[in-house]
Amino acid sequence: MFEKKTIHGAYFALTAYLFWGFMPIYFKAVGHVSPLEILVQRILWSVVLLFGILVYTKQLGKLKISRKKLGLLFLSALLLTCNWLIFIYAIVNDNIVETSLGYFINPLLSVLLGMVFLRERLRPLQWIALATAFSGIMFQLVYYGAIPWIALSLAFSFGFYGLIRKKLSLHSIAGLALETLMVAPLAMMALAWIYLQGELKFGSIDLKTDLLLISAGFVTSFPLLCFAAGISRLSLTASAMFQYLAPSVSLLIAVMMYGEPFGTDRVITFSCIWVALVVFTIEAILHHRRIQRQRAFPAI
């Protein structure tokens, strides 16, 4: 029974991360729409679909949140909105490779944020992993004379978002529904501004564009539902193994489908990040097994 549950969890997690990995194809398909309007449509249609899911599954009660947490929730909503906008902007402007770099960096950054804000102690191999990743970023700085701001912006915005969501302890679907609802008024104002500028593409180009923009709610919600189903059936170590799948798929799409450059400089940077992730993952597995042994055979 346990094995069957784990297998189902792996299928759900695989579906979620593969979907996220292929997501650049969707945003490329609506690349003729401005990143701001794509973001606005994504927020508004996500509100509709997420609340529809909560009504259908009879989970509206999960939307309850204390007043003390509203400020943090609004901050997490703003961070998520910024993350989405940067991601969309990067893809539309042929920077998928850098978005994948950002999401490769993210797990390492999350460990660092845990140390700074949650007072978690880093183990020696974790320090080595962080130092290796940092050397890759520094190489980019020296080679280009500029920081890879898209990658770092994505990593930091999502890293802080994850940190806040961990403190809020919200239901995954209900939490995202509340976040999108909180920024929906801003999205409506942005939509009105785009319309007044005469640049609104929704309803003014063709049916295909309209359907693609409407499907933004599905593109946002479907992988999240699969992720929630998968994470509840897998161990923390097993689920962590899947998180590198999405940026790997995105990187392949960027190079093989859209011909983005991946020269020696990026090979060096990505190699540093990949080595860091290998060290980080091996250390996490060994640490998890050590904890399991200690629980199974406690010291007398």
pLDDT digits (tens, 9 = 90+) for 147-164: 789 999 999 998 898 888
How many folded domains does the chain comprise? 1
Residue 60 has pLDDT above 80, yes or no: yes
In a domain, 176, yes or no: yes
Q: Is 122 helix (H, G, I), strand (E, B) or coil?
A: coil
Residue 47 lies in a domain: yes
**pLDDT reading at 241 higher than 70:** no
Q: Is 292 within a domain?
A: no
CA trace torsion 164, 166, 169, 172 (10° rounding): 90
- More confident of the two residues 90 and 273: 90
pTM, rounded to two decimals: 0.86
Model confidence at 106, pLDDT cuts 50, 70, 90, reads confident
| Domain around 224 | 2-122+148-235+242-261
Tell me, yes or no, whether 8 lies in a domain: yes
Residue 133 lies in a domain: no
- The verdict on residue 118 lying in a domain is yes
Res 239 pLDDT > 70: no
Of 55, 36, 57, the C-alpha closest to 47 is 55
Calculate mean pLDDT across residues 106-111. 81
Q: Is residue 291 domain-resident? A: no
Would 279 be classed as within a structural domain?
A: no
CA distances to 24, 91, 269, 286 from 141, in Å: 26, 22, 10, 33
**Mean pLDDT across the chain, nearest whole number?**
85
